[in-house]
Amino acid sequence: MDEVETSEAVFVTAQGLFMYFEESEVRQLLTAIVERFPGVELMFDAIPRWFSRKTMQGLWKTKHYRVPDMTWSVNRDEIEPLLRGWSPRIASVRWQPYRRFRGFPWALFPLIAKVPELRKGVPSIVQVVSARSETGA
């Protein structure tokens, strides 16, 4: 973080990263980023709990490739309260749509995400913006 130029706005992407960490590591890294860079925009994807369990049980994508264990997961309806509980510096939490899903059943996720009761079980792209000042403004 010492090498990041902060005279301009800072954007951090951690897509494809956090799910491989333990929750304590995600919390430590996320809070360090929002504390260190006021007004930072951070984007990451979050997988739902059911998918994490599948990977931990041994999810084989092909007969030769096992999906790595994804230990950190959070359902969509839990993301905002969780992150705000981690840091009072979080100014906003929004979801961005995945642009493309390939193959069945992944192609159904944009439709499932529109159904309120099912939405929490869909992978999410999360956009977090931190406050620009200590007062939360």
For the stretch 25-42, pLDDT in tens is 999 999 999 999 999 999
pLDDT given at position 67: 87
What tens digit of pLDDT does each residue of 69-125 get? 999 999 988 999 999 999 999 999 998 876 666 655 666 666 666 666 666 777 889
Instruction: Verify cis geometry, omega within 30 degrees of 0, for the bond prior to 105.
Output: yes
If one compares 136 and 63, the residue with the highest pLDDT of the two is 63
Helix or strand holding residue 129 (H, E):
strand 124-130
Tell me: pLDDT of 23 over 70.
yes
Q: Going from the N-terminus, what domains does the chain have, and what CATH number goes with each?
A: 11-130 (3.40.50.150)
- With 60 as the cut, is the pLDDT of residue 62 above it? yes
pLDDT value at residue 121: 72
CA of residue 14 relative to chain centroid, distance: 8
